[in-house]
Structure 1
Amino acid sequence: MTQDQKGMYVIGYGSLIFKPPPHASFRISGHLINVIRRFWQSSIDHRGTPSNPGRVVTLITKEQLQNDRFFHNDLHVYEFKNYKIQDVDLKISDLKSQDLKVFGCAYYIEPQHVQEVNDYLDIREQNGYELSKIKFYINKKDENFGKVPLSDIKKDEFGEYIESFIYIGGLELESFIGPEAIEETAAIIKSNVGPSGKNSEYLIKLNDAIKELGYIDYYLEDLIKLIQ
């Protein structure tokens, strides 16, 4: 994962939110569009073992949701509109990019640390994640907004964004286990433990970290209720 001799942004939508990469100069909150966050990635090296895989989050794009190989056409979407949560029942075929939002953060890594952080992330995300490029729409009300170099900020019809590489679980990989009923996911999270600790700890820390950013993810909130 390289951006030549420039600085780099690291997008956090899972454990990176509560366990940042090294050498982060600052963090800014914001969101991704056209994706949903789900615990549909198996974990055999962090929150589970090869014999008892745990669950960690990945992102599913609208286009992937519309692939009949993996999903049927009925979808219950947990998503934000104008910073207010709404439970929306839609047909997958009717979804628009802006209907799907995932809130998280982006860390800025200065040029002299880019290679070291790249190497760190390549190891940390080696179990079933692939590198993709994505737009991260930055929160202009965030106290760190002014630290983002103007040359890094772009704009489209959905707002101002920075562009970054990101690790996402590939649907073609063995580690992708979705779609999975939320009750089944919760049962696995509740019972599993891996080298990095309890699977439930990952969920709780992620949910708390997102709330600290000022957002609520009702999918995570529902999982929390199910593991109690």
Structure 2
Amino acid sequence: MWVFGYGSLMWKADFPHCRRVVGYVKGYVRRFWQASEDHRGVPGKPGRVVTIIPSNDPEDCVWGVAYEIPEKHIQEVIYYLDFREKDGYDKVQVIFHPESDSTLEPFPLTIYVAHQDNPFYLGPASIQDIARQIRTAQGPSGPNREYLLKLAEAMRSLAPHVKDHHLSELEHELINLDMNETNGHRSQDEARQSNDGMSVFRFILFFFLSRRLLFILSSLRHSHKEHYDVHQ
């Protein structure tokens, strides 16, 4: 038995397997259109994880990793994956195409897909809205942003020649949001420091002018006294 991972299974295959092959399935695209309330979010504040969507272009590909499961562990792994992918995912059979330098021919395998009629399907949204949701969501398996960044890194490591535009745009937007927040905090800190500096400057100026005023008043009193003494 073979299973295909296109999400967290690409970097976290914590089940028995005897072989791993990088490759792709055709006629699909990978999208962050599935809600996660059990791993990367919580009820009321779900995260977003990937599913694969049938594409209008039969040449579109989703790259990932195929794992061969030893015969004696098949039932164990099926039980584990059914539980892991329990929030809206169903098993389907597709044809897997190993990468070009593999000696294997295309073969059928099992893949977990979240169809549009499942209760956790969120559907499309703008890259900005998806990135904002991912940035703030967190669940039992960790921050949703970690899921996105690890998936992007896994793609760069396993299939560096492949460009997943949806994934790379989300990663870029997430990094931009982080940078904007950091710059905003820096601007606030700089403004606070500037205000503190102005406060010190005003205090010194006030102190200097006060001393100067006291000196002038003292001089006037002294001059007035001398004038008074002369006229006595």
1:58 aligns with 2:51: yes
- TM-score, length basis structure 2: 0.72
Higher relative contact order (CA 8 A, sep 6+): 1
| 1:120 maps to 2:65 | no
Which of 9, 24, 35 aligns to 1:31? It is 24
Structure 2 unaligned regions, length at least 5: 176-232
114, 122, 128: which one aligns with 1:177: 122
Correspondence 1:41-52 to 2 at 5 A: 41-52=34-45
* 1:226 and 2:173 matched: yes
Q: Which AA in structure 1 matches 2:43? A: P
Aligned to 2:57: 96
Instruction: Name the % identity.
Output: 39
**2: distance between equivalents of 1:60 and 1:220?**
14
Q: How big is each residue's C-alpha offset from its partner over 1:150-184, in whole Å with a ceiling of 9 and x where there is no partner? A: xxxxxxxxxx4110111100111121111221111
| 1:132 alignment counterpart | 92
Higher Cα Rg: structure 1 or 2?
2
For residue 101 of structure 1, report the CA deviation from its aligned partner: 0.9
- In the alignment of these two chains, the number of paired residues is 173
CA distance in 1, matches of 2:16, 2:110: 17
Q: Name structure 1 gaps, 5 residues minimum.
A: 1-7, 63-94, 149-159
C-alpha distance in 1 between matches for 2:124 and 2:170: 15
Q: What is the letter of the counterpart of residue 171 of structure 1?
A: Q
Task: Write the deviation string for residues 113-136 of structure 1: whole angstroms up to 9, x where unpaired.
Answer: 111101100100001111111111
**Superposition RMSD in Å:** 1.2
**From 187, 192, 195, the counterpart of 2:140:** 195
Query: 3-state SS of the aligned residue for 1:97?
Result: coil
Between the aligned partners of 1:227 and 1:17, the Cα distance in structure 2 is: 21
> 2: CA distance between counterparts of 1:97 and 1:226?
28
Q: Which has more strand, going by share of residues?
A: 1
Alpha-carbon distance between aligned partners in 2 of 1:226 and 1:115, rounded to the nearest angstrom: 40
Deviation at 1:105, TM superposition (A): 1.1
Q: Which has the higher helix share?
A: 2
- Counterpart CA distance in 2 for 1:96 and 1:128 is 25
